[in-house]
């Protein structure tokens, strides 16, 4: 195995018990260490099933039929001892309250670290690091249920990050948030990308926030992997994305329309600012 490949999925299918068709089927996907991978697709595409398969929740906590293999750091997920994989792979879900177990934000952040037997010194150091990263220092004594939705999601993210997982999987972490809170979550992810070497897999509908950070993109549809490529060439396939019910960010759609009309032949911009620069170049 190439040591840089932290996730290797080969010919993988999963069918939940009492369902007629697999939730995902025939998946082949390799992800390298330090990558930021965006996973997109319409509802029912199999995105959450893929996330659960990487974390070991499937097949650990779900009944069904599996074919193929899912390896994390060269080892099949079923081969990990109970709790071992969760120290390598952290998952943040769309509903943060589903992850809360403590009465204060500080207790919530400390809970997992105490469970794995970290020393008080290590817990203090990690707590300081993660609260600064997620801007939660002023909320440590607050009950989690009294803070805003955006703050709750930052607490859920911080609780996962405090465990220092090598792989971070985010399953639509901003789907319940307002635009400002969404920006703050992606701001934390931008810091992680810049300062740490986490491998990040983000399932997300907010492409305007996701695209500038992602090195690679994956498109799932009806349980199948349709497209996997680096972000720029991925979005050159705008027609395919639209056919699958995925709408690229506005700047990309604008340049896609220009291309369809024969007015532009270059690459698509990943951001509005980049699009403005390209337009200025066209005028010049």
The per-residue pLDDT for range 113-143, each reduced to its tens digit, is 999 999 999 999 999 999 999 999 999 999 9
- List CB contacts of 29: < 8 A, sequence separation 6 or more: 7, 8, 9, 218, 225, 228
**Model pLDDT for residues 22-32, shown as the tens digit of each residue:** 999 999 999 99
d(CA 158, CA 238): 35
Q: Which phi and psi angles does 6 have, rounded to 5°?
A: -85, -25
Among all chains, which residue has been given the structure tokens 């893929």?
50
| Partners of 202 in the β-ladder | 38, 170
> Residue 177: its pLDDT value, please?
86
Residue 37's SS3 state is strand
**Residues in the chain, overall count:** 284
* Closest listed residue to residue 11, CA positions, set 31, 36, 28, 33: 28
Write the CA distances from 69 to 11, 29, 84, 196, integer angstroms: 7, 11, 18, 28
| Partners of 67 in the β-ladder | 13
- List CB contacts of 35: < 8 A, sequence separation 6 or more: 199, 200, 215, 216
- Which of the residues in the chain have pLDDT under 70? 1-3, 283-284
Characterise 83 by phi-psi region: left (phi > 0), alpha (psi -120 to 50), beta (else).
left
Strand ranges of the sheet holding 89-92, from the earlier edge strand across to the other edge: 89-92, 167-171, 199-203, 36-40, 216-221, 224-230
d(CA 258, CA 162): 46
DSSP state of 128: H
Q: Is the dihedral of CA 121, 124, 128, 131 positive or negative?
A: positive
Judging by DSSP bridges, how do beta strands 5-16 and 24-32 pair with one another?
A: antiparallel
Judging by DSSP bridges, how do beta strands 167-171 and 89-92 pair with one another?
A: parallel
> Residue 284: its pLDDT value, please?
54
> Residue 2: its pLDDT value, please?
45
List, in sequence order, every beta strand (DSSP E) within the chain.
5-16, 24-32, 36-40, 64-72, 75-76, 89-92, 167-171, 199-203, 216-221, 224-230
Q: Number of helices and strands (H, E) in the chain?
A: 11, 10
**Domain made up of 34-59+81-230: CATH architecture:** 3-Layer(aba) Sandwich (3.40)
> Residue 273: its pLDDT value, please?
84
Q: Which phi and psi angles does 180 have, rounded to 5°?
A: -65, -45
Judging by DSSP bridges, how do beta strands 36-40 and 216-221 pair with one another?
A: parallel
């Amino acid at each position: 195995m190439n040591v840089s490949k932290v996730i290797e999925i080969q010919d993988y299918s999963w069918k939940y018990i009492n369902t007629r068709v697999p939730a995902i089927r025939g998946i082949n996907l390799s992800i390298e260490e330090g990558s930021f991978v965006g996973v997109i697709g319409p509802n029912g595409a199999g995105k959450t099933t893929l996330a659960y398969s990487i974390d070991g929740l499937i097949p650990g906590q779900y009944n069904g039929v599996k074919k193929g293999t899912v390896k994390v750091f060269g080892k099949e997920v079923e081969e990990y001892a109970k709790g071992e994989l969760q120290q390598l792979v952290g998952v943040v879900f769309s509903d943060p309250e589903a992850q809360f177990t403590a009465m204060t934000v500080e207790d919530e952040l400390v809970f997992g670290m105490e469970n794995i037997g970290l020393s008080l010194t290590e817990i203090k150091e990690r707590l300081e690091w993660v609260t600064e990263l997620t801007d939660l220092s002023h909320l440590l004594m607050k009950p989690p249920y009294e803070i805003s939705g955006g703050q709750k999601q930052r607490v859920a993210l911080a609780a996962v990050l405090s465990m220092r997982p090598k792989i971070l999987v985010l399953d639509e972490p901003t789907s319940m948030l307002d635009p400002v809170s969404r920006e703050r979550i992606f701001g934390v992810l931008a810091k992680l990308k810049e300062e740490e070497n986490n491998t990040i897999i983000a399932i997300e509908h907010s492409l305007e926030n996701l695209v500038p950070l992602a090195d690679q993109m994956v498109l799932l549809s009806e349980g199948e992997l349709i497209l996997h490529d680096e972000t720029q060439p991925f979005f050159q396939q705008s027609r395919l994305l639209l056919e699958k019910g995925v709408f690229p960010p506005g700047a990309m759609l604008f340049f896609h329309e220009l291309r369809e009309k024969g007015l532009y032949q270059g690459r698509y911009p990943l951001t509005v600012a980049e699009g403005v620069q390209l337009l200025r170049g066209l005028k010049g």
